[in-house]
Structure 1
Amino acid sequence: MSELARNAGYGRNKKLKAALLQHRAGTLEGLSERLFGLLFSGLVYPQIWEDPAVDIEAMELSAGHRIVTIGSGGCNMLAYLSRAPEAIDVVDLNPHHIALNRLKLAAFRHLPSHADVTRFLAGNHATNNREAYSMFIEPMLDVQTRDYWNGRDAFGRRRVDVFTRNIYRAGLLGRFILLGHIVARLHGLDPREFVEARSLREQRQFFETRIAPLFDRPLIRWMTSRKASLFGLGIPPQQFDELASLSEDNSLAPVLKRRLEKLTCHFPLKDNYFAWQAFARRYPEKQEGMPPDYLRADHYAAIRANAGRVRVHHASFTELLAAKPAASVDRFVLLDAQDWMNENQINALWSEISRTASQGAIVIFRTAAEKSILDGKLSPALLDLWTYERERSVALGMRDRSAIYGGFHIYRKRA
């Protein structure tokens, strides 16, 4: 059995447990953390839910940059390749994400054309993806990744066969979106009707008349006041507590309502594939709107040419940086990982970031709440090494099409 397969379960994944567990098992907080860890040990994000266009602009990404990023679903890492960076190190504690990132890279490197890549990765229920995998991808995979995708899921199916269905309906997030659709239908709303809107005005009308009233329903307010009910969004207990503190009844209903208002009303539907995944549970067809950035035809040649510049590691961010030379990284992408961390973990991470950061290096990350996670947690000595670009962070955060985060943050290394 390969290392990826051995570490796929939460009980055996020591790195994931070390990152998640901050309370004893006998406490309510500890039980909540362990339940989240159990759910998070499988495939969570078949698609990453951070906007790569915002990332690329925030990082001022261009040829020659050296990047370290968290992998998640792999979409953003691939989008970064369109700017021809010198190297990308991808880290993730979830072995399912490691296997997915490696497979997506192999698809770009070895499938014959852009149309083949799109058919394989777009979730279009293409049954011939099985043959494409066997002919072009499987022979080129490393042993661990090949063993993972040829292995069996909980229903006895080969894992790779998810690409003959719709992988974006799989994973913890895919199941959470399905649950959201079921709850909405119980209240008389079919979320798929949203993609019939033809203008921002119609999108706004749909939200205000059909979606917004749901958040006053007792069942939804009860569900959104339970930590476990939102684990499917990847919201760990620490994030839930901070967000719930903003509500009088300890419910995330008001927060989620505001985030959905942004998702549905602030961007034209044809330009926002995140909204298509949330409401239609698929990507738009060519005549309906734009695909994810990494599947755009105008990015294909650059991504294919640069895919060999990526290395994928089953490691934590801090662990990988500790093995790197000083001043060897230009761009750091932390996603929302710091929302999970305690003060010691954040300081250990930023100690390594500061050591390995080149002159003018940029760090970007997101937070569930609006304020930066570093406030009051990062030591003044480390914080003084960086400039927080507050106004630019707010401006770019407003343009994040995924709309699920409260804050987007940019830090630049001082000269």
Structure 2
Amino acid sequence: MTEFAPDAGFRKNRKLKDALLQHKALSKDGLSERLFSLLFSGLVYPQIWEDPDVDMEAMELQPHHRIVTIGSGGCNMLAYLSRHPSSIDVVDLNPHHVALNRLKLAAFRLLPVHADLVRFFATPKLSSNSAAFDRFIAPELDVSTAAYWNGRDLYGRRRITVFNRNIYETGLLGRFIGAAHLLARLHGVRLQRITEARTLREQRRFFEEEIAPIFDRPVVRWLLSRKSSLFGLGIPPQQYDELASLAGGGSITQVLKQRLEKLACHFPLQDNYFAWQAFARRYPDAGEGPLPTYLRPEHYPAIRANAGRVTVHHASFTELLAAEPAASRDRYVLLDAQDWMTDEQLNALWGEISRTARPGARVIFRTAAEKSIIEGRLSPALRAQWHYDEERSQALNVRDRSAIYGGFHIYGKAA
């Protein structure tokens, strides 16, 4: 149960529900979808799990570019501001993500110095964070966002006080990671000990000797054979099926083991803040490793100066674009949202992307499986308007430090 329980203003989120439900209510797939929809109605991602440095290299952002992106935890849209784009439209059907994105933007505009941002978003267990919100941020927030963060969670606490504790331990993903740590401890493994490794070789030794054997335990294999076991990762039933297809329709245990091996072993801990969140449940301290791209001091002036170029919408990607003029956008960031979509939804989305795309536009997205989700599913007329840069997509996928996706994909508007 998430600490970010919906209040009266957030309970009726029909847009999100409609996007997640595709099968009849009493069918096996329908029941699974409805359970996921219930869990997904609260905060899911306090941190986004797509590597923004890979995104920005793929997009080759320029100052004249107008971007549309899904919000999620908000980290990536802030990182994009370091490249001075003309505008960013952020869309999300989850109102908790909308409130988090708006809070992060306001913090960049209103907190006095960069160190305040690091304390607020990267330093847990500081009671002064809610006081900073009250003094600097709350008076300038829009009414709905202020009401959200001043509202109460299930325990009667103001929501903003989550930043006095550790927001990354909350939300659906935070609780899933916490459950994984508990499961590991029950098997005698303390996952945070990997942060003591000083070389890639030491990281790999810890993974092979401590983490990998957990996947062979019967209870773990049984748990991972259930679709609901991955709902905490924000993986809906459709994505579970994609992962199962990689395992030949069997258990996805081996697929998940390979993804975790990439996270643990392919990048030095000194370069990968995703691994710190997964294994230590925090960002690295000074000297241990990097902060997320949006919190690095060298990017602070640009992000602060450009924060006013972002508009956050409680809407779907297709819905937003349908109201925009033709040939009005340059870059589209879909995260992994297409993995959830029907063919009809995919074609409606790409119809609006194609209509609003300027010459030279690019679309980037990730998939649970390795192959691009749109191949063989878009209409020939839509597909013909886009070129797939497969070689570059594969090269950048290898460098994605979040390590949880099977594929990273880049499409460019055909001339």
Q: Which moved more, 1:241-250 or 1:89-98?
A: 241-250
The aligned residue for residue 168 of structure 2 is 168
TM-score by length of 1: 0.97
Q: Is residue 407 of structure 1 aligned with residue 407 of structure 2?
A: yes
Report the CA distance between 1:322 and its aligned residue. 0.2
**Tell me, what secondary structure is at the counterpart of 1:18?**
helix
Report the CA distance between 1:8 and its aligned residue. 2.5
Aligned counterparts of 1:181 and 1:159: Cα–Cα separation in 2 = 25
Q: Is residue 53 of structure 1 aligned with residue 53 of structure 2?
A: yes
Counterparts of residues 5-404 of structure 1 (less than 5 Å): 5-6=7-8, 8-9=10-11, 12-247=12-247, 250-404=250-404
Aligned counterparts of 1:349 and 1:342: Cα–Cα separation in 2 = 11
C-alpha deviations, 1:189-228, integer Å up to 9, x for none? 0001010000011011111111111111101111111011
Report the CA distance between 1:249 and its aligned residue. 7.1
Q: Which runs of 5+ in 2 are unaligned?
A: 1-5
C-alpha deviations, 1:47-67, integer Å up to 9, x for none? 000000000000011212100
Say if 2:246 and 2:369, in contact at 8 Å, map to a contact too. no
C-alpha deviations, 1:71-100, integer Å up to 9, x for none? 000000000000000000000000000000
Report the CA distance between 1:339 and its aligned residue. 0.3
Q: What residue identity is the alignment partner of 1:22?
A: Q
* Count of equivalent residues: 410
Report the CA distance between 1:121 and its aligned residue. 1.0
TM-score by length of 2: 0.97
**Tell me, what secondary structure is at the counterpart of 2:372?**
coil
Aligned counterparts of 1:159 and 1:251: Cα–Cα separation in 2 = 38
Aligned counterparts of 1:156 and 1:123: Cα–Cα separation in 2 = 23
C-alpha deviations, 1:344-386, integer Å up to 9, x for none? 0000000000000000100000000000000111111101100
Q: What residue identity is the alignment partner of 1:371?
A: K
Say if 2:200 and 2:266, in contact at 8 Å, map to a contact too. yes
Say if 1:324 and 1:356, in contact at 8 Å, map to a contact too. yes
Report the CA distance between 1:408 and its aligned residue. 0.2
Report the CA distance between 1:6 and its aligned residue. 4.0
Aligned counterparts of 1:160 and 1:232: Cα–Cα separation in 2 = 22
**Tell me, what secondary structure is at the counterpart of 1:152?**
coil
Q: What residue identity is the alignment partner of 1:360?
A: G
Identity of aligned residues (%): 71
Q: What residue identity is the alignment partner of 2:96?
A: H
Aligned counterparts of 1:24 and 1:248: Cα–Cα separation in 2 = 27
Say if 1:8 and 1:95, in contact at 8 Å, map to a contact too. yes
Aligned counterparts of 2:15 and 2:270: Cα–Cα separation in 1 = 40
Say if 1:191 and 1:280, in contact at 8 Å, map to a contact too. yes
Report the CA distance between 1:245 and its aligned residue. 2.6
Aligned counterparts of 1:7 and 1:384: Cα–Cα separation in 2 = 43
C-alpha deviations, 1:262-304, integer Å up to 9, x for none? 1011101011000000000000001111100000000000000
Aligned counterparts of 1:28 and 1:246: Cα–Cα separation in 2 = 22
Say if 1:150 and 1:160, in contact at 8 Å, map to a contact too. yes
Aligned counterparts of 1:61 and 1:184: Cα–Cα separation in 2 = 41
Say if 1:393 and 1:409, in contact at 8 Å, map to a contact too. yes
Report the CA distance between 1:7 and its aligned residue. 5.0
Report the CA distance between 1:318 and its aligned residue. 0.1
Report the CA distance between 1:246 and its aligned residue. 2.8
Aligned counterparts of 1:149 and 1:223: Cα–Cα separation in 2 = 35
Say if 2:388 and 2:412, in contact at 8 Å, map to a contact too. yes
**Tell me, what secondary structure is at the counterpart of 1:255?**
helix
The aligned residue for residue 3 of structure 2 is none
Aligned counterparts of 1:6 and 1:339: Cα–Cα separation in 2 = 30
Aligned counterparts of 2:166 and 2:208: Cα–Cα separation in 1 = 30
Q: Which runs of 5+ in 1 are unaligned?
A: none
Q: What residue identity is the alignment partner of 2:194?
A: F
Aligned counterparts of 1:143 and 1:269: Cα–Cα separation in 2 = 41
**Tell me, what secondary structure is at the counterpart of 1:250?**
coil
**Tell me, what secondary structure is at the counterpart of 2:267?**
coil
Aligned counterparts of 1:190 and 1:339: Cα–Cα separation in 2 = 33
Distance 1:272 1:233, change over 3 A: same
Aligned counterparts of 2:123 and 2:364: Cα–Cα separation in 1 = 29
Aligned counterparts of 2:280 and 2:10: Cα–Cα separation in 1 = 30
